[in-house]
Amino acid sequence: MWHGQWESTVISLGFGRLKKDDGSEDHSEEGSVVFFNGQKKRILNLDETDGSLDNTKGKCGGRPPLVFCGVGMTGGSTAASKSGYGPTIICGSHAEGEAMPPHFQLKTLATSSKRERFSVEFIARCKDVWGTFGHKKRALLPCTFGLNDKAGMNSVELDKHFKGSMLPLCPDTEDVPLK
């Protein structure tokens, strides 16, 4: 439904307007919508994938799983670690193509937030992303993490990710046109 309603959704949300057919505009972009200045940075596309460590498939929706392996290691016919652990990874970009900072949803067996732990080495190897989004100038945007018992994105974790990681990408967001 989103793709069938793209044009009217973009216009109703204030991201752009229909192109004029009277020849008065120079249109360098294809399509029927002219985006208002800066609005492509406010249209985010993200996807969730299984960050498989054991090359298994079918545990969650989204894109096919990523497989982590040591490419310089010989022996064995598959690039797979047999840990059985599969974190969820959320990646994306805005309509102008800047990458969103990745979000890793990791597994924890802790029964309270005070007992949650994960590897400092894992955090050190995750890379932050440079971008502008709704900032006045380029900023280093941090990779984010969440923890739960299944390493999956549920409504609670999605709400935390949205409020704590996605909304801060556009700190100038308001419920007014062009914001």
pLDDT in tens, 128-152: 899 988 888 998 998 998 888 888 8
Say what the pLDDT of residue 2 is.
Answer: 62
Say what the pLDDT of residue 109 is.
Answer: 74
71-88 exposure pattern, b = at least 16 Cβ within 10 A, e = fewer: eeeeeeeeeeeeeeebbb
Both ends of the chain: CA-CA distance in Å?
A: 24
Looking at residue 19, the DSSP 8-state letter turns out to be: P
Residue 48 has pLDDT above 70, yes or no: yes
Which of the two residues, 103 and 125, has the higher pLDDT score?
Answer: 103
Does the predicted model carry a pTM greater than 0.75?
no
CA distance 152 to 104: 9
CA distance 37 to 11: 14
- pLDDT category, 110, cuts 50, 70, 90? low
